Structure 1
């Protein structure tokens, strides 16, 4: 920058000199022009005076006074421009001589008028006028010579300044180009380094994603490999507990069951923390009864508290609303973790849970849950890290009380996931108090919910004449399923892989398939794909898998499964699922085309509105359930018929089927979502009908119908 300033300063200086020289040159040229004008005016005046005398014609002297005035003006201008020390004497002489010359010319004219031509000619011939003219010409020549020298000097100055300005400009351009080149090279170098950094960062990110994928796969495999034997351990333990046992055997079975459940809790903790950290844990809000949740919590932990001779108290402020809208599962998980820890680390005294309202505005409310105990407490230095992963207050704590050290980490992250806040207060030997603050909105009464906020379902007996096909490769799980299905008086066939399942389905009609995912020769995904595409069968297929990672259920449904059950298999869940999907005693007819369930993400509004159905039922749950079952059975058939009509381009059948579908979906409250599509199909015209438009309308309709069917199944469950 300094170099550029110096260069610019010198360049500007020479340019100013160049401008000044040009102005001076212009001035000198102006002087030369004025001198020339003065000579011309004087010569013209002499000529007029001589002409008037010689020809005795006074017309020659017309305007002579004006000519003399011009001469005086020219002389005055010369004095103003040229006057300086070197020309002052010449200008004095010039002024005197010009005045004398003008006076002489006027005197000649006066003589001519008064004394005649002869006297005037005599004055002209006495050479005085000639000598004055020659003297004036000589002085003007001297002035011109002096000014020519100034002009030469100024011209030289201009040339020098121009050359210097050009030189400095060239240097400035050179350094500007050099600076631009250096700046370009610097910027290019920085961009290249930045690109290298971006490539390294991208590679690192890809590596991170790959490692995350490996971790998720590892957790999924670990979950599967541990849950599969755990399914057998807990299943047979439950079966043993129902058998007549002596005291010692019952003690052993109880110990096995407790150890198995503890191991399962550890697995669940590891999977939960993995879901939260990978952003796959989602909040699912529903209306629930807060007092019902607290009642279930008391029922769950009261036996444990009594076993340790502890007092367990749960209190709730009367101002706390009972019906709330939020994620009841995550709230239960938080309270279960905090209460379990409180009972675990308390040897005497008791555990108290208090619920209070700390803020409410319009429909929003913030609830404070306080869990206090009289246990071992926590050292002040450990309070800041108590929510860290795999952290417990002391190493001896883990050895004495067990656990993974993930419980409080999961609690904190679940609370923060719901925009809540948790804090802890503790003194060693005096107990610990956890305060969890969570935001909710006021819930609405749902006649289908019980006191703990979960949906009750009315379970009908499973028809005894149904046939089930079980595809499971693990021998222990086969034995467990054999026992369960036999105890329910159900007929079944067990096969070892997907290939055998396909062969069995080709030979015999079954009502439902229980399909394990990971099997040799052909896994569950491949098997269900062939069932839908090759066999064109719509038989219900229930996935049984030990994979418990987020997204596994959606994957199963997208591949063609009807439902998903995680291992270890819960007996009630399996029974309810079989009951729902075997509502008919005979095997279901295959559909013309399989309709895959695409599912809907959390937060997507529900389609079904049961207000009209409930008004019709007058509280008759059996009627509502029967209508929903008919809806689930009828809607796929209507869709299949509509698809065939669209593919065939049968406009009359398209209209009739669309009209019939409007009746099918109306009682389920689907008018708002489905009628706009159905009305376009119902009013289709032969002239304007286009197959692509029809296919697009059908695909949109199918997607909504599949979601509605799944919602109906969820309600039935």
Structure 2
């Protein structure tokens, strides 16, 4: 049978089946309707029988009360007789209403008369009882009139019941007949439905079998391609991660090399190494981003942020490069655009940075413009249009449709001349789509390009209202209101140091005392970066960062802060899930650069040169105030607070160390020695006290000698007493 004819046969079968189905359904519905009507009639007849029985019962009850009242001369029996008579009349009225027809009209007339006579007779008996006494009332009862009336009423009720019983029998027969017919038609309908379902099932099964064969063939042809794609994605991700760590080291050592005395040629070489390293790191980051997006690991994290602050940061970032190329870089934002928005500020920044970077890169003369406008607003929602335009090389019209494809640039020569992977615009497009926005481009070759990005946001809450959670400990408003840091540190002196540094940089921050509080804070609020001490009570930094990665599934940057300076400590931190490592005592410049790298929102800053404190009277003291002076930048109040904290805290920690030494509690000795390293580092005691504290910090059970440890503690105690005395002298 030809496939085309099958369609017509199926159509004819379908129409025939539908007609048969309608006929069957009509007959089935008709019989069901008769069945329902018969049930209603049966219920009515049962109601009639019930009403007749009630009337008979109430009549007998009334007679009994009247006789009882007369015989016993107890008037309590008389109570309610008039109400009973009223009920009898109501029952009679209901019977007249529900069974009145031609066949029962004569019987109902007689019943009404006899019931009225019976009620009248009962009332007369009661009147006689009240007026003439018991014997007169008994004579009326014994004259058989009441008995004859009762028998006549019962006779009529039996006749009515017999009449209704025949009607019940007729209705029951009708119900049985309709039920049997409905059952028969229902059986036919079920049989037809089963037959139709079977035929449809066989046809659909055959079609599905054919489709499965085609799908298997298609899957077989695509299996190898999918395997190769998965291998490629995994390779890119692994390669990017493996290269990123040594590249950070290369850039770090390059930066250190730049500050060394070098001749002009060496400076040129170092600059080339740094430039190439940054380019390679950008390529690696692009590959990582595209891998995260395609694997579903890229997440949108919404928070309130200042739009104008973001634009200011982008302008600050690219202004030096634009000036170097003699380009005019302008950022404009219309007045009606709200400043505080709620959305993913990190992804917005990444989009704007990528588009602006391309605009500056591909423009040799002219200008680069960033314009922001509000195109729609309703209630608490807005849509913002970001326009990034330039006067650069432009894009051919036939290339516009493919510039967002992976590893694609407008011309093959573009990669050789300008560099890059061709992933930037792909990442931008996917990041925008993740935020439910869209991007378009307008361009002509040689006339520049204009990228338009439309993103939805909701109005955010004012960042200055969150003073209970974030603070700067100064009267100045935060310079960077969209930057929020979480600091985990249990040492009070280190907390004071970080308060001073972060406040001086006008950053918002929150300080917690252990790893558990870190997890609670991250669960409640959004932060951009965590500064994590390693050795803390309740939960240490290693456990906290593993919980951040594995339980919270957060990719927030985490910088480890520790007094451990042993070989391999940085590698251990990175292996446990940290992004970077900084040793104590904290160097201000190093910490700021790390925050700047991982936040991406802070401008570079000029840090003052180190201040060297001269020796007093040529005598070398234990305390070295250089580090504290460098941090304070002339803030005498901060220096005084730190010295007072040192004078109060050092004896407490020495006391804890003494208790641990006396109890030979090796874990407590190690922990207290570690905390002491942080405390003494702020006032330059590393040179004198670290040689004693480090062996105590590394103390092991299999190499513990109580006499040696006691001697180390006594030496440490003498030096600490001298340091406290010097600190008191400085304060005076």
The alignment's TM-score, normalised by the length of structure 1, stands at 0.40
Name the TM-score, length of structure 2 as normaliser: 0.40
Larger Rg: 1
